[in-house]
Amino acid sequence: MATLPGVSGRGPAGEATASGVTSMASTGTSSEDPRKFALRVRGVTKVYRTDSLEVLALRGVDLDMLVSELIVLVGPSGSGKSTLLNILGGLDQPTAGQVLFGDLDLASCGEAALTRYRRDHVGFVFQFYNLIPSLTAEENVALVTEISRDPMDPGEALSLVGLEERRNHFPAQLSGGEQQRVAIARAIAKRPAILLCDEPTGALDSRTGVRVLEAIERVNKVLGTTTALITHNAGIADMADRVLSFADGRIAEVRENTRKRPAKEIAW
Ligand code: ADP
């Protein structure tokens, strides 16, 4: 996996120390926690300003994401989930607060550092797959590996998501779920430290959606990629190490799953 600045090795996943639900605005782990941090979010607020309107999209978010942790974000539409995901991915910067990736503060660094962070350390998966129709699955993945520092072979990335036999197929020859798995292979082929998924199964039925979740679960386990996934589907939360429930720009509730449900058992 990629080496994080100021962070070495892989923290064991799923070593939940508490069970059940806690209601709190902060999800910081204790300072004695031996596990390593992938990202540390402190007092993050985000205000969107237009000519006549101010929208307070995030109102003070604190979060420690542990290396190799799988976090699911749930909550009503407009509660700030995508805003936080975009900030974690360096696509946007907060109005106030800190977002630490090792020693780099994504909240205050310049555009060039933010671009390097995105290129070297972050994989994105969105609801729509954004594959290039005239390229095969393998060529779509190779677009990323050609510009990466320590990429895996595109075939290896496709194999991780169970599509090695479809490497020469064009997107139009693949189902929606298969196209999304190619998009996951493309996102993880650069061995990112962080994988961010915004409604990755939003356009899929339960059966194909589960295959996509299995691919995310496998990448998280095999590569130790710290993963944050937004979903409207409460059932998907059961595969997470931690579930963050958003309300009105805040993390209103945190649940640790002491027993994670395998993706293949999830249905909706
Ligand atoms: P969620 O992902 O939970 O649906 P969002 O993070 O997309 O919520 O949005 C949080 C709030 O911020 C909403 O009120 C939304 O309308 C607003 N918002 C999001 N992006 C923008 C933007 N680019 N400009 C103005 N307001 C925005």
- Give residue-wise pLDDT tens across range 145-160: 888 888 999 999 999 9
CB 255 within 8 A of CB 19: no
Identify the CA nearest to 73 among candidates 93, 54, 88, 55: 88
Give yes or no for residue 90 CB within 6 A of ligand 1. Answer: no
Query: What was the pLDDT predicted at 160?
Result: 94
Q: What is the distance between the alpha carbons of residues 211 and 139, in angstroms, rounded to a whole number?
A: 22
Report how far apart, in Å, the C-alpha atoms of 142 and of each of 23, 184, 187 are. Answer: 44, 13, 11
Give yes or no for residue 78 CB within 6 A of ligand 1. Answer: yes
Q: What is the distance between the alpha carbons of residues 51 and 49, in angstroms, rounded to a whole number?
A: 7
Which secondary structure element, helix H or strand E, spans residue 109, and what is its range? none
Q: What is the distance between the alpha carbons of residues 105 and 256, in angstroms, rounded to a whole number?
A: 27
To 5 degrees, how large is the angle CA 141–CA 154–CA 160?
A: 100
Query: What was the pLDDT predicted at 3?
Result: 35
Average of pLDDT values for 186-195? 96
- Strand partners of residue 202: none
- Give residue-wise pLDDT tens across range 202-245: 999 999 999 999 999 999 999 999 999 999 999 999 999 999 99
Q: What is the distance between the alpha carbons of residues 28 and 245, in angstroms, rounded to a whole number?
A: 15
Query: What was the pLDDT predicted at 233?
Result: 92
Domains delineated in the chain = 21-265 (3.40.50.300)
| Residue with CA at minimum distance from ligand 1 atom 26 | 48
Q: When comparing pLDDT for 14 and 213, which is higher?
A: 213
* Residue 238: Cβ-neighbour burial (10 angstroms; 0-12, 13-18, 19+): middle
Report how far apart, in Å, the C-alpha atoms of 257 and of each of 20, 201, 202, 241 are. Answer: 7, 21, 23, 5
Q: What is the distance between the alpha carbons of residues 235 and 267, in angstroms, rounded to a whole number?
A: 7
CB 207 within 8 A of CB 154: no
- Give residue-wise pLDDT tens across range 22-49: 444 445 554 545 569 999 999 999 999 9
Residue holding tokens 């780099």? 104
The answer, yes or no, to whether residue 17 has pLDDT greater than 80, is no
Task: Give residues with Cβ within 8 angstroms of 31, minimum separation 6.
Answer: none
Query: What was the pLDDT predicted at 147?
Result: 84
CB 90 within 8 A of CB 117: yes
CB 66 within 8 A of CB 98: no
- Residue 111 Cα, ligand 1 centroid: separation in angstroms? 22
130: alpha, beta or left, given left = phi > 0 and alpha = psi -120 to 50?
left
- Give residue-wise pLDDT tens across range 71-108: 999 999 999 999 999 999 999 999 999 999 999 999 99
- Take residue 18 and report the two structure tokens written for it: 């508490």
Give yes or no for residue 128 CB within 6 A of ligand 1. Answer: no
Query: What was the pLDDT predicted at 212?
Result: 95
Identify the CA nearest to 11 among candidates 40, 33, 42: 33
| Residue with CA at minimum distance from ligand 1 atom 22 | 48
5-9, 117-121, 144-148, 259-263: which has the minimum mean pLDDT? 5-9
pLDDT-based confidence at residue 21 (cuts at 50, 70, 90):
low
- Residue 79 Cα, ligand 1 centroid: separation in angstroms? 8
Count other C-beta atoms under 10 Å from residue 127's C-beta: 15
Query: What was the pLDDT predicted at 148?
Result: 85
Query: What was the pLDDT predicted at 268?
Result: 84
Query: What was the pLDDT predicted at 31?
Result: 52
- Average per-residue pLDDT for the chain: 89
- Residue 72 Cα, ligand 1 centroid: separation in angstroms? 18
Average of pLDDT values for 122-144? 96
